[in-house]
Amino acid sequence: MPTKNKYSKIIAGTMTWGSWGKKLSTTQMVELMNHCLALGISTFDHADIYGDYGNDAEFGKAFVKSGIDRAKIQLITKCGIQLKQSRNNKVGHYQYDSAYIIESAEDSLKKLHTDYLDLFLLHRPSPLMEPEEIAKAIETLKSDGKIIDFGVSNFTPSQIAMVETRVPVVCNQVEYSLTHVLPMYDGTFDDCITKGRMAMAWSPLGAYFRAENDRQRRIKKMIKGLMDKYGADESQLLLAFILKHPVGIYPVVGTSNKKRLADSFKAAEIDLELQDWFLLLEASQGEPVP
């Protein structure tokens, strides 16, 4: 199992740092990386597809310029999604043959200017996954010292069990927030607790700031009533909700805003009272907790 305390409790998601979002310059990325480290955020989450397969290289360029000690940060990346528009594919699809997994990892290593990845994830499950092929690639990458931990993203417990017939899976990164609580009920977090897997959450604020519907209005009303009590803003209380789950969530926070990153880090200090947590859950579900 992974050494969980080597990863920062709040993880910096880099998806919007490049062409899919803020289009940060190299200098701006360096500043943001150093800001994260100053806060205590030392783990950076990537995927090969981010920025149409360009983010890793942009981040790597900034990493070299920053002079940051590699031992002081943790790098996570993912592979497997083949975008139609970026690689002249006939169709968007997933690819998990051994040769491709190894090629993807090595490509990320080159772009990120690092000798190893702390955590390497299969990005989304494919109906055509073969555990033998996956295991062959992961065992090769580990024996060569190119990856330390291996995990998955968006996998169900049964899909993980299939992969684990050949190779251990130490992490599952899934969508989880107050507006998307399914992992608490579909066995995902039960599996992580039972097997000692690291659980990471992407989109940890959910649709709260994107949607305008009855659920969002119920949650907003409840959160507004708790802000003074905890001395926290809306984002911090949304994070506090998911951080309270006993699985020990590591939220992947996708903002590149320095203040929001600082506020997110402080959210880990908030300990919601039991009944306040259930009041938020009730607001999300729109009915009394059974």
Q: What is the DSSP letter of 81?
A: E
Could you say which of 7, 50, 176, 230 is catalytic? Answer: 50
Distance from C-alpha of 238 to C-alpha of 147, rounded to nearest angstrom: 32
Active site includes 230? no
SS3 of 116, please? coil
21, with CB counted inside 10 A (0-12, 13-18, 19+), is middle
Q: Which of 91, 81, 76 is nearest to 123 (CA)?
A: 81
Q: Which candidate, 204, 246, 257, 289, places its Cα nearest to that of 17?
A: 257
Amino acid identity for residue 26 in this structure: T
Burial of 251: CB neighbours in 10 Å, binned 0-12, 13-18, 19+: buried
What is the number of H-type helices and E-type strands within the chain? 12, 10
Enzyme catalytic residues: 50
